[in-house]
Structure 1
Amino acid sequence: MDSLWFRRFGTEESGAVRLICFPHAGGSAASYVPLLRCLSPRFDALAVQYPGRQDRRREEPAADIAGLAGRIAAALRPATGRPYALFGHSMGALVAFETARALRELGAPAPLRLFLSGRGAPTRQPGPHDRVPDDGAILATVRRLGGTSAAALADPDLLELALPVLRADYRALAAYRPAPGEPLETPVTVLTGDTDPVVAPAEVVRWRDFTRSGCEVRVFPGGHFYLDHCPAAVADVVLDGVRAIQEAAGR
């Protein structure tokens, strides 16, 4: 695996299905450590490290969602010879979706399943929660959503590091428009918290319009960062979703 883009928090699980996880706005690969620990050794689980954060902090953050996904897809393409799945949370759900589309354009085998968490389906106009005009609005949004990112912003030094990345990520979200294209041939599992303040149920179910292979919705107790509190339950959903595809294919 490309060491610039992908982080494995543990040992490589030879022969296991590979799961690639995409972080939320302002997030890093490390945000997936609790989930990845629950998935090992059942999956060879890795997380994407976007430019501009942690060990890539000297790089410019990505300017747009589709462009970022295209770069990730190019790095991931050589590793798609074994079964794999994609998991994205919040902004990461859009990046995972666009990565699946970019991999299709590259002629790569399709992922077994796409797991899209904490995000409604793409629309032709940015949602109100993606339009944040200044730093004050960004910080208010992050604090309202909660999670580890909100707690970290109480530290002035961490805030100084986090703000450039958050600005770039929210600019990319506000500018995102899904390009026209055929639905994916990959089944989708959508995961959401039952009290998520930014993801309406109607937005969640519209993901079914972006695949020809079925879309299921799984609801968990909690808000936008519900998965911080139940990584084992989320890992079980991932396991069941991949296992169902493998059994249907007779693998």
Structure 2
Amino acid sequence: MSDDARWFLRRPSAESAARLFALPYSGCGATMYRKWPRFIGDIEVVPIQLPGRENRFREESYKTYEALADDLVEVLLPYLDRPFGLFGHCGSALPGYETAVRLLERGCPMPTRLFISSQVAPHRGPHGRFLRMTDAELAEEVHQLIVELGGTPRPDLVELSLEILRADVETNKRYHPAEPTLLPCPITALGWDQDVEVDHRLMDSWADCGETTFRLLKGPHYRFMEAPDDLLDAFVADLTV
């Protein structure tokens, strides 16, 4: 398997009109998007597999979003030959933003749209109760997340997932740009009306990072994993050109 192939559950199709690269939620791998359709109209959903999880669990997780973005840009470059978007929810929204920053700095093609779900702007963070949790408390969250994903929370699976989640939480803590980078690509900030993790009203500062459209969707923090219609409609509305 080539190095870049490890980053995808499946290689991006040459037939897609646009691509949506989806970064996995903290503590999770790319299979968390298994309930999402492969195509949303002509938009191909391309889940990204990060080191340290699932089929890449033997690899070391990234310690900074900057290092992750550096490598991710190199992997994605061959597939930025058509309109594309980046999507991240909560912790994974931040490396999505940092990847857009890296693309800008290197003069690469920019996203047609950056989709940020349930996360405050980077210069207002780090934010979230996970950042203050003990391992025991995080283990309980992992247990619940596995159930949300439709799995069985066996002790060994909880332990492995906790290790990944703790690494992701520590990486999140390290990320705090003093000033936002103004992106030339538009941003869609997606809040959730029942989200107790990140109040959608805290997302207003994404406007400091570029032209931002705010959308309030129905549901709690984890509802995005179910690929609800209002989320898919937002992708079509904001990524179709």
**Counterparts of 1:77-96 in structure 2 under 5 Å?**
77-96=77-96
Q: Separation in 2 of the partners of 1:31 and 1:207?
A: 26
CA contact (8 A) 1:132 1:170 kept: no
Shift in Å, 1:33: 2.2
Amino acid paired to 2:201: A
Contact 2:69 2:95 in 1 (8 A): yes
| TM-score when normalising by structure 2 | 0.88
Q: Deviations over 1:10-40 (max 9, x none)?
A: x825141111001110111111122233x34
Aligned residue number for residue 249 of structure 1: none
- Aligned residue number for residue 199 of structure 1: 198
CA distance in structure 2 between the partners assigned to 1:226 and 1:127 by the alignment: 20
Q: Distance in 2 between matches of 1:33 and 1:13?
A: 21
> Which stretch has the larger CA shift, 161-170 or 133-142?
133-142
Query: Could you tell me how far apart the structure 1 residues matched to 2:71 and 2:178 are?
Result: 17
Look up the match of 2:230: 233
Look up the match of 1:56: 56
Tell me how large the CA RMSD over aligned residues is. 2.4
Correspondence list, 1:1-251, <5 A: 2-8=4-10, 12=13, 14-37=15-38, 39-40=39-40, 42-123=42-123, 125-142=125-142, 146=145, 148=147, 152=151, 154-178=153-177, 180=179, 182-211=181-210, 214-243=211-240, 246=241
Give me the whole-angstrom Cα distance separating, in 2, the residues matched to 1:216 and 1:237: 10
Aligned to 1:86, the other structure's residue is in SS state: strand
Contiguous gaps of at least 5 residues in structure 2: none
Q: Counterparts of 2:146 and 2:177 in 1: how far apart (Å)? A: 27
- How far apart are the structure 2 equivalents of 1:147 and 1:203? 27
In structure 1, distance between residues paired with 2:226 and 2:126: 28
Normalised TM-score (structure 1)? 0.85
Q: State the distance in 2 between where 1:125 and 1:117 align.
A: 15
Describe the SS at the equivalent of 2:131: coil
Conserved? CA contact 2:35–2:226, under 8 Å: no
Q: Distance in 2 between matches of 1:124 and 1:194?
A: 20
SS in 1 for 2:129: coil
Partners of 1:216 and 1:147 in 2: CA distance:
32
Question: Match of 1:241, as an amino acid?
Answer: D
CA distance in 2, matches of 1:129, 1:168: 15
Q: Distance in 2 between matches of 1:41 and 1:150?
A: 25
Q: Between the two proteins, what is the percent identity of the paired residues?
A: 32
One-letter code of the match for 1:184?
Answer: L
SS of equivalent residue, structure 1 residue 119: coil
